[in-house]
Amino acid sequence: MLITVTRTGGIAGVEKLCALDTSDRADEAEVEGLAQRAVAPIADGYHYRITVDDEVLDVQDPCLSDAQRTLIRIVLAEGA
């Protein structure tokens, strides 16, 4: 299984892309299990795409910051 993670942001705004091939790893089953659980949709959870000008962010419940949750609530209640 090939797993990739991209991290962006931070103070310098640096992007870091790393890939991991789980083949022949001693913990192959454990890492693959984690990967499958990490990308599985949350049952009955909402998914959101927040777009602000040219910035796009995909998030899902329950992994929302307070700011994201408040913004979503305001836009869904008052937006057109």
Residue 23 and residue 10 in contact, taking contact as beta carbons nearer than 8 Å: no
Residue 21 CA to residue 32 CA, distance in Å, equals: 10
Confidence (pLDDT) at 6: 87
Residue 49 CA to residue 65 CA, distance in Å, equals: 14
62 preceded by a cis bond (ω within 30 of 0): yes
3-state secondary structure of 19: strand
Predicted confidence (pLDDT) at residue 68 exceeds the cutoff of 90 = yes
Confidence (pLDDT) at 62: 83
3-state secondary structure of 11: coil
Residue 2 CA to residue 47 CA, distance in Å, equals: 25
- 12-54 pLDDT, tens digit each: 989 999 999 999 999 999 999 999 988 877 778 888 999 999 8
